Structure formats: C-alpha cells, structure tokens
Chain A
Amino acid sequence: MKIFVLAEHRDGKLNRATWEVIVAGQHLAAHLKGSVSAVLLGRDIRGLAEELAAKRLHEVLVVEDERLAEYTPDGYTAALIEVIRQEAPAFVLMSHTYQARDFAPKLAAALGKALISDCLGYRVDDGTVIYTRPIFQGKIHADVRFADDPPYLVTFQAGAFRADEIEAASEPVPIRAIPIDLSPVPIRTRPLEVFREAKQAVDLSSAERIVAVGRGIKSEENLALIRQLAEALNAEIGASRPVCDSGWLPMDRQIGSSGQTVSPKLYLAIGISGAIQHVVGMKGSRTIVAINKDPEAPIFDIADYGIVGDLFEIVPALIKALKQLRE
C-alpha cells in the first residue's frame, strides 16, 4: 500500500506542515502496513529532496520542471495526475494549506475522486480508515470515509499531527526523479509578485498581554469596553477576522492564519468562537482566558480559564476588579 505525502515549499524552504503530514503518513503506514514516500514538485529542489530523504520514507519522488518553478494550479495538477497515473498510490496526503486549498480539489475533480479535507485525525476501523473533520467552524466534528476507490486524497489541518514525532532514517532514502513532459500543458494563471501590505503599524508578536475581541462585541461602539479593559490590563488589543473585515479595527490587529501569530503571557479572547484559523495564531499563548456565552464554543478547548457568560456583564465587572487592584 503506497502512501504519498506531498511536500510543500516556498522560497527554497519546506513548509513545516509537510513534516506533520509525513508523521500522519508514517502512522497510517504503520496501521495499514504500507510505505510512505514524499513527492516534491518544483525547480532547483535538490536540497529540499535531500532534506526529505533524511526522514524514514520509502523514497523521495521528484518532478523537476521549468513549468513548476512557481506554483500554479494547472502545473501542479498536471504533474500530480501523471505521478498518480505512473505510481498508483493508494493515498495522497497533504496539509490543508492555502496552496492545497487552491489545487487539491481540482486534482480530485480531474481524477474523478473525492478529497476529504481539513482532517483532524483518523482511525482504522476493521480495515477502513475513518477521518474526523470539523464542521460548523469546529463546533461539531464529523466522521467521514471514502465511498469510492483509491487513490484517496486527504488534507490534514495544521497541528493535527506533531512534526516532532517524525521518524528519521538511519541513512538517506533514495531520491528518484519522475520524468514528466509538462510542455503540452496550458498554464492559464500567471503568478505575479508576492507582497505584504504597507508596513504593519503594530507588532503584536512581542506583546506581553493581549485582549482580543471577536464578533461577539456586536458593534464598533462597543469596542470602547474592550479599550477600557486593555488599558486596565496594560494590554494590546487584537481581534478576530470579522472585526477587521467590518473595519472596526485595522487589519494589522488581526490574529490568526491570515494575520499575526502571537504568544503573549496572557491572551483574553472575548466573544471569539475559536475557529482554527484564529486559534493557529494564538494557541502558543501562555495563559488563555476565554469569555463566551456559548459553553460549546471551541475556544474553550484551548482556554486555561473559561467564563461562560455575557461579555457585556463580565467585562465591566473585570474592569472594575482590575481598577480596585491598582488602587
């Protein structure tokens, strides 16, 4: 049983998430008595292939082509269809990154196969692999399985497996080039410059305390309350995406996968549900406090202290208590 893991890279560096998916592959291989190989697409990627070859893999498969120098959905899909056709893997595992979101469904559709996306984990039940994935923004989980033939395409959520559990190889594993002629493939999208918006005004990554506010605050005016709390705590203000999308706070206050990553000593999440895209940006915080009226909110999964209640009652009381402490 061949298990393939697609390695992702940008600017000559492998994405950390790749190691997590190799771990997923190594676990799955142990369960199903299979072998794990990494698949690497690009140009001038010898160094990356060698880095991968240091892990306990069956082999590292490399497709090098000028047309893969930069990621495009057409180029990646065409190359992977051919890899899958030639090598016939049973599983193709990926991380649920923005890049995989961009091409994995296309690859699956081109193959006429299903993609089970954003998985948190899996279990093997009577020989069948059952995947668990979040629905309703993580409030509920679902068990899902393939109702179709291989290849099985799966993406795993960041953090679903621990990169540090990766097994190293005692000696480098073979690197094998797969010859593919991509010249007839039309590449319809043209990637242009990668950039950041004008210099960020605030750097939350060094803040010791952050009061983060979510959609539960309901309106821009109510932010006054958050400002008072931040002042009483001597904290910076952060926010979830919808607060910034609505223009209530500038984009550079956004915390999460498309915003900043922070790890303060204290993170207060107020009216934030705890969707994975937010959580990846703050789960490294030392002490996490969540205030939310919904006891099922996923944020409570990572909070050290939880308060189930109305923020409009709790926050004023907290401001008062902090002021008393100062006096």
Chain B
Amino acid sequence: MKIIVCLKQVPKRDLALRLNEAGTWIAEADLSWEINEPDAYALEEALRLKERLGGEVIVCSLGPARVEQALREALAKGADRALHLLDPAFEGLDAFNTARVLAEALRRESFDLILTGLQSDDHGYAQTGVILAELLGLPHATIVMQIEVLDGRLKVKRELEAGWFQWVELPLPALLTIQSGINQPRYATLKGIMGAKKKEIRRLALADLGLSAQELRNKQELMRVFFPTKAKRTEFLEGTPEEIAARLVEKLRYEAKVL
C-alpha cells in the first residue's frame, strides 16, 4: 500500500506567542517547531499500515526551509521518502491554495491512500485535507479513529460528537483526516535518525508543479491578528503558593460556597 502523509510544521505548544509588528501574524523569529499533533498520529498510522501490509510511506509538507526538520523527523520514524513544497509563492496561502499546491504535487505520485491531520494547530481551518480530496477526486472520511483495510476498500471509525462513533466504508484510493489518539506515536530511534540522513527529500517549487503565482491568489484574506480581550472578569489570586491556596479555599468556602 502506498500511503502519503501530509504534515504541517507548527510552533511548539506551550510557547508564549508574540505578534509581529504589523499585527498580521505571530513573530516567528525565535520559535521552535514541531509536527502538528494530529499529523504525527497520521504518520504513525501510515507506518503501522505499511508494517502490516507492506508498501511505502511518503511524507509531504508545504512550508519554508525549516520544514525540512519535520520531514527528517518523519523519515527517522520510518517514512521512506519526502516531498518538500518550497517556494516564496507558497507563503501565506489559505486552505484552498495550500490544498491546490498539495494536489498538484501528489497528482504526480500514484498512491492508494492519503492521510492528513484533521486540523492544524496554527490556522485551524479544518479544511485542507477535505479540499485536497475534492481536488484529487477522492472519497474521504474525516476525524478518523480506526482504519481497517478490506479488500480494495477501507472501513474506518469516525468520531462523532459527545462520545459517539460511526463506521464508514469507502473505496480506495481515498483520503482520511486523522484525529489525535488513534494510536500511540513512536519515538525515532538512533538507528532511524542515522538512516534518515540517506533518505530522499525532494524539493518541488512553483514551476515544478506547473503552477503560476496568479493562480494561487488567496480566496480568503487574513487581515490582522490580535490577542482577544477577555469577556469575563476573572478574579486573579496572587501571592506565594501558600497565600494563593489559602485565599482560594476562603473564596470557595464563603464566596462560591462550594466547600
């Protein structure tokens, strides 16, 4: 089974984010980066399918030079090769155009299955995978928590709201968007990290994909970003941990009356 995994590199969680001076995006200069969480689960799922059924896992990411690190990490975990979609014209693309570029790159590969994350941590569109499926004419299922490969078909468990699930069958080739928690992702081994150095990362730019910058005009425009003003007046408790604890207990007892 030939499986493609689309992964996005996003700022590490748990970092304090700042905005750039123009207020049009975050300040990216001193950030550290990681693979978008559900994408890491998608990669693991692809590796497990390959281990079960044989085949190849190709990882694909659109982003600036730093993205190579994410691709190397995926190769170290066991992906066979990587595609890096890199061009100044790819900067700041919306979900539609990101999918558009991914589609052009992946059209050139024969594949049985494409896995993406269900949502990115930064833009959080929750769209790119589904658009990609449509552009490639593939059936899809979203928010997938289990994959079974039948004969030429897939049976997948989709998460629904409030603890419900649904099984869905679809033919191959197909695209699935993967939800966090579908598996327990592995760590790269030292051997894997050494081996990854020899694996191919192919760079594809605008011209390689037969696209022009005009074609990639965004359909939605990000005007500005800002820290939201808090709607609720939270009462912040300050002091040493002991003082805070004592004050909270008092508040819960006499104000909130929950103790």
- Give A residues with C-beta under 8 Å from B: 73-74, 96-98, 101-106, 108-110, 113-118, 130, 133-148, 188-197, 200, 209, 215, 233, 241-242, 244-247, 257-261, 265-266, 286-287, 289-290, 294, 296, 298, 300-309, 313-314, 316-318, 320-322, 325
B227 touches A140 (CB 8 A): yes
Q: By the criterion CB–CB under 8 Å, are B219 and A114 in contact?
A: yes
Complex Cα gap A198–B88 (Å): 50
Q: List 7 A-B contacts (CB under 8 A).
A: A189-B141, A190-B169, A196-B165, A258-B161, A305-B248, A318-B249, A321-B242
In the assembled complex, the CB of B109 is this many whole angstroms from the nearest CB of chain A, namely: 20
Interface SS of chain A? mixed
- The complex places the Cα of A249 from the Cα of B234 at a distance, in Å, of 29
Beyond contacts A109-B99, A190-B170, A290-B234: 7 other A-B pairs, Cβ-Cβ < 8 A, are A140-B228, A143-B226, A191-B166, A257-B161, A305-B237, A316-B241, A325-B259
With A140-B227, A307-B236, A321-B246 in contact, do A109 and B135 touch (Cβ < 8 Å)?
Answer: yes
B121 with A242: CB separation less than 8 A: no
Which chain A residues lie closer than 8 Å to B259 at the CB level? 233, 266, 325
Chain A residues with CB under 8 A of B53 = none
In the complex, chain B residues whose CB is within 8 Å of the CB of A304: 232, 234-235, 256
Tell me, rounded to whole Å, the shortest Cβ–Cβ distance linking A79 to chain B. Answer: 15
Q: Counting CB contacts under 8 A, is B126 at the interface?
A: yes
**Min CB distance, A324 to chain B, in Å?**
8
A195 touching B258 by the CB < 8 A rule? no
Within B17-54, which residues are at the interface with A (CB < 8 Å)? Answer: 17, 19, 26, 37
Complex: A144 Cα to B124 Cα, angstroms: 13
> Considering only CB atoms, which chain B residue lies closest to A259 in the complex?
B163
**Smallest CB separation, A281 vs chain B (Å):** 9
| A residues near B161, Cβ cutoff 8 Å | 97-98, 257-258
Tell me if A117 and B127 are in contact (CB < 8 A).
yes
Give the shortest distance, in Å, between A138 (CB) and chain B (any CB).
8
Any A CB within 8 A of the CB of B181: yes
Known: A106-B140, A188-B171, A189-B141. A114 touches B224 (CB 8 A): no
